[in-house]
Structure 1
Amino acid sequence: MTPSSANAATGTPPGHRQRRHDPDRRERLIDVALAVIAEHGVAGTSHRRVAAAAEVPLGSMTYHFAGMDELLEAAFTRLAEHAADAFDQAMMQARTPVEAVEAIVGLITGTVLNRREAMVATYELYSLAARRPEIRTITNAWMARSRRALERHFEPDTALMLDALIEGLTIHRALSLKPMPVSTVREAVQRIVAS
């Protein structure tokens, strides 16, 4: 079938390409943007680079996102929501205080919060939030969800301390050449819970 006969069959005027049906394009662009941020950093992320990685026309970026700020906010919100969902899931599965402690140890030492791409993107989020207070709404919402999940098992003050410990130990283990052993992580969590 020639392009002109294809146009006739679909009712598309001659000389116009039919637009590919891609209803989830905005969501896919957000996911691709996170991968680009993890690979190139915020400074190296552009509409052009994301469009190329997603294999879409550059115009799709400006159609879906008013500017880079909107794209970054959408990408980092997605990152925070995925991490918070995984955190919620881990804490919901715990039925006892002992299981809750083990869930926390698993979050710190396992792969849920420690996938390389997600970790690198998270550090980019932290760096941007440190410079731009409006981005802290994303990190604040993320921390609030984490604390609510912990409060299923612990008092609010304990949940606050555990949230900070999880954040700090996750970073420490990711960056250390000799990560803290799981037994030491468990002891740190148990000390806070017992206090």
Structure 2
Amino acid sequence: MADMRGRTQADRDYVVANQAASKFAEEYRGRRGARAKGEMRRKEILSAALRIVARDGVRAVKHRSVAREADVPLAATTYYFRDIDELLNDAFILFSEEAGEQVRAFYDTLQVLLDSLSPEMRLRTSPERPQLAKRLASVATAYLETQFRDRRAYLLAEQAFLIEALRDDRLSRLARRYRKSWVSGLAELLEKLDSPSATQDASLIVHVVLGMGYDLMLGVPGDDDGTLARAVERIVDLALGVGDR
């Protein structure tokens, strides 16, 4: 366990969340491959399940459909996963791990940007606050544009799992952990930016971003190509306490 002394609450939350994310592997319920080849096949089966979730929804995940999607014998899916609950559980964990890598890479980019600033520039009262907000909004917009443009299957799988988690207690626990890793990392960034309510703001931002992904899949139109950028700018301005542009 990391030493928590001398850390802010957001720092402690972030450490706990990262420790939780690193322990996702302990939540796997299916049989693990004893050798590299077996583990590779197991991951191929889980990846196939994720593709089905994104394309047809969680309820379409069956041993036979996954075996066909993964191009493996039916016996392979039943060898690694005794039932569909195990298969869905482990597919959600694999999804969470892969999604977590993307989010952590994005947060690391923002951390580098913030670490390059003096403590005075990060204060809420800094006269350079509007310029900093623009820089952060630009980085965030570029990240979200990439996610929304190139990772549609990821967004579909995410929404499908989160909706199914409302019906399945086992998946709901994983969904809460998945969301916590988003919120805690973002709260640390906001606290560095002198936010008086970092965790609350981080939670609200995560809600908004999930809603953006949902709107995108529904095909909700914007006024023009700059709609996303303006929305992100507004969110960042509110989080940083910057007045209306």
User: Structure 2 length normalisation: TM-score?
Assistant: 0.64
Aligned with 2:176 (options 122, 133, 140): 140
Contact 2:45/2:66 (CA < 8 Å) preserved in 1? yes
1:131-181 per-residue CA deviation (whole Å, 9 max, x = no partner) reads 122211121111111112212310222222222222122222332331471
Taking structure 1 as reference, are residues 27 and 55 closer, same or farther at Cα in structure 2, changes over 3 Å only? Answer: same
Query: 1:108·1:169 contact (CA, 8 Å) conserved in 2?
Result: no
Q: Which of 206, 209, 232 pairs up with 1:163?
A: 206
- For structure 2, which runs of at least 5 residues remain unmatched after alignment? 1-35, 115-131, 191-197
RMSD of the TM alignment (CA)?
A: 2.2
Structure 1 residues 92 and 178, CA gap change in structure 2 (3 angstroms): same
Aligned to 2:27: none
Number of residue pairs matched by the alignment: 175
Paired amino acid for 2:83 = G
- What does residue range 1-195 of structure 1 map to in structure 2 within 5 Å? 22-23=37-38, 24-94=40-110, 95-96=113-114, 98=133, 99-111=135-147, 115-154=151-190, 155-179=198-222, 181-195=227-241
Cα distance change of structure 1 residues 121 and 43 upon mapping to structure 2, 3 Å threshold: same
Q: Which has the higher contact order (CA 8 A, sep 6+)?
A: 2
**Separation in 1, partners of 2:58, 2:158:** 11
Q: What letter corresponds to residue 161 of structure 2 in structure 1?
A: L
Give the alignment's TM-score, normalised by structure 1. 0.79
Tell me how far apart the structure 2 counterparts of residues 113 and 78 of structure 1 sit (CA, whole Å): 22
Distance 1:142 1:192, change over 3 A: farther
SS at match of 2:214: helix
Counterpart of 1:7?
none
Match of 1:156, as an amino acid? Answer: T
Percent identical: 21
Match of 1:15 in 2: none
Q: 1:88-144 CA deviation, whole Å, 9 max, x = no partner?
A: 101111213645443433343332686221122122112211112221112111111
The Cα shift of 1:74 comes to 0.9
User: Unpaired segments of 5 or more residues in structure 1?
Assistant: 1-20
Q: Distance in 1 between matches of 2:211 and 2:140?
A: 13
Deviation at 1:87, TM superposition (A): 1.0
| Alpha carbons of structure 1 residues 114 and 169: separation in structure 2 relative to 1, 3 Å | farther
Q: SS of 2:189's equivalent?
A: coil
Structure 1 residue 68, shift from structure 2 partner: 0.3
